[in-house]
Chain A
Amino acid sequence: MTKVIDTCSILVLTALICFAANMVGYKGELQTSLLGVGVILAIGVLGFGISQLPLLNKTYTIIWVSLLAIFASSPLCPWSGWIVATTSKIQFMAVATPLLAYAGLAVGKDLAMFKKLSWRIIPVALAVCAGTFLFAAIIAHFALKWEGAI
């Protein structure tokens, strides 16, 4: 139960920071931004709730949250029009910027370990990240062409 309360309180607070980001960075209006963040928060809490149900609590939260959000915005959901309209007022970046702020604030704990690594891992890590991005993008490019999607 503590975990549920903890998670929900963090979600509420971080959603408010997203709201602030949306106001500052993307000139969002107060009311529409607040409503948009509220709907995103509600779907998030509901998705998290589903992942905590008995039998499902061995599965990954990310799957349920993603599926619920896709469903809520798809034509299958009777309220999808309203949900898409309200949440589109929140920019993706308004959620991503605070996320990366927390990532930055957490990075210090890994820096001590990072300093102990051999220099060799650095070029290798750059190549690993570049590889997954570039190869997927190149394959996607030719597949899209072949499919006639672009």
Chain B
Amino acid sequence: MDLLKNWKIHLFALAITVASESIGSFKYKLLVLFPMLYAMLMGGIISWPRLNILSEKQMQYASRVLSTMMILLLVKLGLGIGPQIPHLMQAKTALLLQEVGHFLGTIMLGLPLAVMLGMGREAIGATYSVAREPNIAIISEKYGLDSPEGRGVMAMYICGTVFGSVWLAVLAGAVAQLDILHPFALAMGAGVGSGSMMAASMGSIIAVYPDLKVQIEAYAGAANIMSSVLGIWVALFLSLPVAVKTYGLLARLMGRKEEPAQPAKEA
């Protein structure tokens, strides 16, 4: 059975978890550190290709365990939503509207920067979403993964997997420490539609506002479910067309041709 064949991975996961949880959380100025982050970093060191501790196959298995285990995370998240439904209903407009921020925020911040840095149509694939699996499928269907758009979405997918969660945790922790936006609003912001990114950013927010844990979990969970359920449709019919249009506009503003001669190795 696969489970027994890969005992090494599970043993590492257990050891990392116990070690990370024993360290506990710290706050220093704008920086918030907590077990989840150590766990990701320790795992990353163990899987560092140069060290040859894990084989490619074992890493792929770890990735499969990750997506299966997501079920437990979603259960825990869902269980936090049920009792808070009356509370969430008072904020239904906010819950609906903030999705606009999730679906267009990637483009608003990412696309101008990408075009400024000289990216070609790769910029469309890279910035129209946070590039999780359904987003890759959409680009693959429309442009193929060999296209500039396809290379863009794959590059963003890899970056998101490698440092997306850690970056969002650091960012969410810093923004929460600034105490400008309400913690419930931050919690909804954390619901980006990717389990590990959501968990990491929500972890930071809870570390800053431990007393509001129950509500933060409910808001983040509700926003995350909306992002992942609506995600595929909104990405296809709203985010992608907006990204394509905005790219054309920006490229023209910068005096570039619609199809700049970017060689394949770009992005």
A, B in one complex: yes
The answer to whether B69 and A136 touch across the interface, beta carbons within 8 angstroms, is no
- 13 sampled A-B residue pairs with Cβ under 8 A: A11-B68, A26-B21, A41-B72, A47-B75, A93-B206, A99-B73, A100-B165, A101-B39, A104-B47, A110-B158, A117-B155, A131-B106, A131-B110
The answer to whether B113 and A127 touch across the interface, beta carbons within 8 angstroms, is yes
Contact partners of A48 in chain B: CB under 8 A: 71
**Nearest opposing residue in chain B for A126, CB measure:** B167
Contact partners of A111 in chain B: CB under 8 A: 47-49, 162
The answer to whether A100 and B40 touch across the interface, beta carbons within 8 angstroms, is yes
**Nearest opposing residue in chain A for B189, CB measure:** A137
- The distance from the CB of B136 to the nearest CB of chain A, in whole angstroms, is 13
B contact set with A: CB distance below 8 Å: 1-3, 9-10, 12-14, 16-18, 20-22, 24, 34-37, 39-49, 54, 56, 58-60, 62-66, 68-83, 85, 90-95, 97-110, 113-114, 117-119, 123, 126-127, 130-131, 155-156, 158-165, 167-168, 171-172, 175, 181-182, 184-186, 188-192, 195-197, 199-203, 206, 213, 217, 223, 225, 228-229, 265-267
Cα of A104 to Cα of B100 in the assembled complex, Å: 30
Contact partners of B105 in chain A: CB under 8 A: 131-136
Contact partners of A101 in chain B: CB under 8 A: 12-13, 16-17, 20, 39-40, 42-43
Cα of A77 to Cα of B201 in the assembled complex, Å: 30
**Nearest opposing residue in chain A for B9, CB measure:** A105
**Nearest opposing residue in chain B for A74, CB measure:** B82
Interface size class on chain A is: 35 or more
Contact partners of A14 in chain B: CB under 8 A: 13, 65, 68-69, 72
Listed residue (B40, B192, B225) with the most chain A CB atoms within 10 angstroms of its CB: B40
Contact partners of A102 in chain B: CB under 8 A: 9, 13, 43, 62-63, 65-66, 69
Cα of A128 to Cα of B167 in the assembled complex, Å: 11
A107-135 contact mask (Cβ, 8 Å, vs B): 1 or 0: 11111111001101111111111111111
The answer to whether A136 and B191 touch across the interface, beta carbons within 8 angstroms, is yes
Cα of A103 to Cα of B163 in the assembled complex, Å: 11
Q: How would you classify the secondary structure of chain B's contact residues: helix, strand, loop or mixed?
A: helix
Contact partners of A138 in chain B: CB under 8 A: 101, 181, 185, 189
A40 interface neighbour in B75, B108, B172, Cβ under 8 Å: B75
- Please give me the 8 A-B residue pairs with the lowest Cβ-Cβ distance, nearest first: A104-B43, A69-B78, A73-B82, A137-B189, A108-B47, A135-B105, A25-B21, A131-B109
The answer to whether A140 and B101 touch across the interface, beta carbons within 8 angstroms, is yes
Residue A57 at the B interface, CB < 8 A?
no
Cα of A145 to Cα of B185 in the assembled complex, Å: 10
B69 interface neighbour in A10, A63, A67, Cβ under 8 Å: A10
- The distance from the CB of A42 to the nearest CB of chain B, in whole angstroms, is 9
Contact partners of A84 in chain B: CB under 8 A: 79, 82-83
Listed residue (A7, A47, A125, A141) with the most chain B CB atoms within 10 angstroms of its CB: A125
The answer to whether B47 and A109 touch across the interface, beta carbons within 8 angstroms, is yes
Known: A92-B76, A131-B107, A137-B185. A143 touches B39 (CB 8 A): no
- The distance from the CB of B99 to the nearest CB of chain A, in whole angstroms, is 7
Residue A144 at the B interface, CB < 8 A?
yes
Residue A80 at the B interface, CB < 8 A?
yes
Listed residue (A9, A92, A111, A132) with the most chain B CB atoms within 10 angstroms of its CB: A132
The answer to whether A130 and B171 touch across the interface, beta carbons within 8 angstroms, is yes
Known: A74-B85, A99-B66. A137 touches B78 (CB 8 A): no
The answer to whether B93 and A106 touch across the interface, beta carbons within 8 angstroms, is no
Cα of A68 to Cα of B82 in the assembled complex, Å: 10
The answer to whether A95 and B83 touch across the interface, beta carbons within 8 angstroms, is no
The answer to whether B101 and A98 touch across the interface, beta carbons within 8 angstroms, is no
Residue A65 at the B interface, CB < 8 A?
yes
A54-92 contact mask (Cβ, 8 Å, vs B): 1 or 0: 000000011101111111111101001001100110101
